[in-house]
Chain A
């Protein structure tokens, strides 16, 4: 059972906009930044969003992040086949004094 809750799966068609949610609590998302990762099977996770809504250099602006209270969301617009991957949210948890991850959302591009 992950501390941060994500839907196990999501899907969309090319060109569509999809949103992946991440729900936590006051000790993690409610009081700390949220990061989002993309992981293609067989490869290491890649940072898409840091500090709730910032994109590292090289990440397309099709990817955006937001946070409100104890929940966060990752939005992907103009969906492409290469976006098919697993997506994870992460945040520091003050009560656990550790970083916590969501269980991951498998995104399928139909």
Chain B
């Protein structure tokens, strides 16, 4: 089964830091690009950023509101995606999802989301 499980959310003061993790299973993690998307309570979806696979290479990309404060990294040996968040602001309060899209020879086009982890900056 293809699964993403986020963890690491919590309550943090403005200016503080937090690291989110996303554990992947059921697919070849090292081959896929991974993204973080957040959702403010009662609001819509906001793309945070993405990291490409090592084989594809290229820069990690970030949304303007988080650029310079957030860093996305991955450990392919642990099949884990990370979101390092610094200089947190109240407007970063949200449910954070990790997600990926890839093509599977057996399952077709796959779009996978975790259940999210909540970050509250207050």
Which residues of chain A have a CB within 8 Å of any CB of chain B? 2, 35, 37, 44-47, 50, 54, 56-57, 88, 90, 96-104
**In the complex, A43→B49 CA distance in Å?**
21
What B residues does A90 contact at CB under 8 A?
A: 45, 47
Closest A residue to B64 by beta carbon equals A96
Does B1 have its Cβ within 8 Å of any Cβ on chain A? Answer: no
Which of B's residues lie within 8 Å of A, judged by CB? 35, 37, 44-47, 49-50, 61-64, 97, 101, 107-111, 113-116
Give complex CA distance A50, B111 in Å.
Answer: 9
Which of B44, B61, B109 contacts A104 (CB under 8 A)? B44
B35 touches A2 (CB 8 A): no
Instruction: State whether B109 touches A56 (Cβ < 8 A).
Output: yes
**Cα A55 to Cα B22 with chains together (Å):** 26
Tell whether, in the assembled complex, residue B45 and residue A104 are in contact, meaning their CB atoms are under 8 Å apart.
Answer: yes
Residues of B within 8 A of A45 (CB): 45, 97, 113
B47 touches A56 (CB 8 A): no
Q: Which chain A residue shows the least CB distance to B50?
A: A99
- Residue in B47, B107, B108, B115 with the greatest tally of chain A CB atoms within 10 Å: B47
- A97 touching B61, Cβ below 8 Å: yes
B110 touches A56 (CB 8 A): yes
Show 19 A/B contacts (Cβ-Cβ < 8 Å), sorted by A: A2-B44, A35-B111, A37-B45, A44-B113, A46-B111, A50-B109, A57-B107, A88-B44, A90-B45, A98-B64, A99-B37, A99-B50, A100-B47, A101-B44, A101-B46, A102-B44, A103-B44, A104-B44, A104-B45
The chain B residue with its CB closest to the CB of A101 is B45
Q: Which residues of A contact B114 (CB under 8 A)?
A: 44
Chain B nearest CB from A98 CB (Å) reads 5
Once A44-B114, A44-B115 are accepted as A-B contacts, the answer to whether A98 and B107 lie under 8 Å apart by CB is no
Instruction: For A102, list chain B residues within 8 Å (CB).
Output: 44
